[in-house]
Structure 1
Amino acid sequence: MDFINFTAIFVAALSSLLVGFIWYSPKVFGNIWMRETGVNMEDGKKPNMAMIFTLVYIYSVFIAFILTALTIHQSGALGMIGGPAFIDKALPSYAAFMADYGGTFRSFQHGALHGFMTGLLLIMPVVAINSLFEKRSWKYILVTGFYWVVTCTIMGGIVCGWTKDGFHFSSIH
């Protein structure tokens, strides 16, 4: 079973842009975010949006890549034998484990759960810590932090649920 689905990673990374377009629109949280950051799109100092969106996408690929390891538990078993190069040298117990559990917990819902936990328990605290030292407001921390919670939830669902034979939707075991 392949654990790294690069198509899923690239699509999951795109989801960060899509969520951002919605999340930071003026009708959702965009006005709050601009007020809390002091960003004024009307001041004539337009940022290079092409460069920003390109870098956001590249960094989001990194996040989707690590979410693959955090959401697909079988990758841990693969790591225990040394990686893909060592599958043919693995003990029979690895093959038995993968035969029994190779597709277990491979669903959008399961990945979304782990993505949510990663966003809430890892990324939200990082955003909060940096924001506190930058003397940002709690509104900023909540808007930015929960953007990442929502984004990681979606990204985790995509990278975990998208297997070779399509998306898997099932209950969280």
Structure 2
Amino acid sequence: MEFNYLAVLVAALVTLLVGFVWYSPKVFGTIWMNETGMTEEKAKQSNMVKVFGLTIFYSLMLAFILPALTIHQMSALGMIGGPEFIETAKPSYAAFMADYGDAFRTFKHGAFHGFFAGLFIALPITAINALFEQKSWKYILVNAGYWIVSLTIMGAIICGWE
């Protein structure tokens, strides 16, 4: 099973596209600005090259780990030590891959795992930080919702795109 670098790259760009819609004033942008104390003037002072550059970098990090969370066959590959050990793996690995090599490799299944990664990883991390920062539940739900939607779409792309 080849690692799909193109799917990872495309999935990483999802955070920008979802963020563009999610944080627009017509969706949740106004709520987010109110909850963070952000203003238009303050936003314009940001170094946008830095912000978007690091966003892409961190999104690539997320997309790079998602195959391990969304593609079951990656676990089987990990059990034998990685791609370099396919030729020397026991026959049971080849039999497993022959039987299940494409099982659960769908956009729907990837979205399922991406959603649960958002719900059980992104939401708790966002909520814990926000609680210590004394942020509101609106803040938590807007930001965690963004990650749940982003990871759902990212998981779908990575798992479904063979």
Q: Which TM-score band applies after superposition, normalised by the shorter structure? A: over 0.9
Distance 2:17 2:33 in 1: 18
SS of the residue corresponding to residue 86 of structure 2 reads: helix
Count of residue pairs brought into register by the alignment: 162
1:112 equivalent to 2:111? Answer: yes
Distance 2:43 2:89 in 1: 61
Q: Aligned AA for 1:131?
A: A
Distance 2:114 2:61 in 1: 14
Cα offsets for 1:84-119 (capped at 9, x unmatched)? 111111000100100110000001000000000000
1:128 equivalent to 2:127? Answer: yes
Distance 2:128 2:103 in 1: 36
- 1:25-40 to structure 2, matched below 5 A, reads 25-40=24-39
Cα offsets for 1:116-154 (capped at 9, x unmatched)? 000001110000000000111110000000100000000
TM-score normalized with structure 1 length: 0.91
Give the share of equivalent positions with the same residue, in percent.
63
Consecutive unaligned residues of structure 2, counting only runs of 5 or more, are none
Cα offsets for 1:26-83 (capped at 9, x unmatched)? 0000000001000111258610112101111110111111111100000000000000
2:89 counterpart residue number? 90
1:101 equivalent to 2:100? Answer: yes
Q: Which has the higher helix share?
A: 2
Quickly say closer, same or farther: Cα 1:152–1:43, change in 2 above 3 A.
closer
Quickly say closer, same or farther: Cα 1:117–1:43, change in 2 above 3 A.
closer
1:47 counterpart residue number? 46
Q: Aligned AA for 2:161?
A: W
Q: Alpha carbon RMSD of aligned pairs, Å?
A: 1.0
Q: Aligned AA for 1:32?
A: I
Distance 1:44 1:77 in 2: 46
Moved over 3 A (4+): none
Quickly say closer, same or farther: Cα 1:132–1:44, change in 2 above 3 A.
closer
- 1:2-41 to structure 2, matched below 5 A, reads 2=2, 4-41=3-40
SS of the residue corresponding to residue 30 of structure 2 reads: helix
TM-score normalized with structure 2 length: 0.97
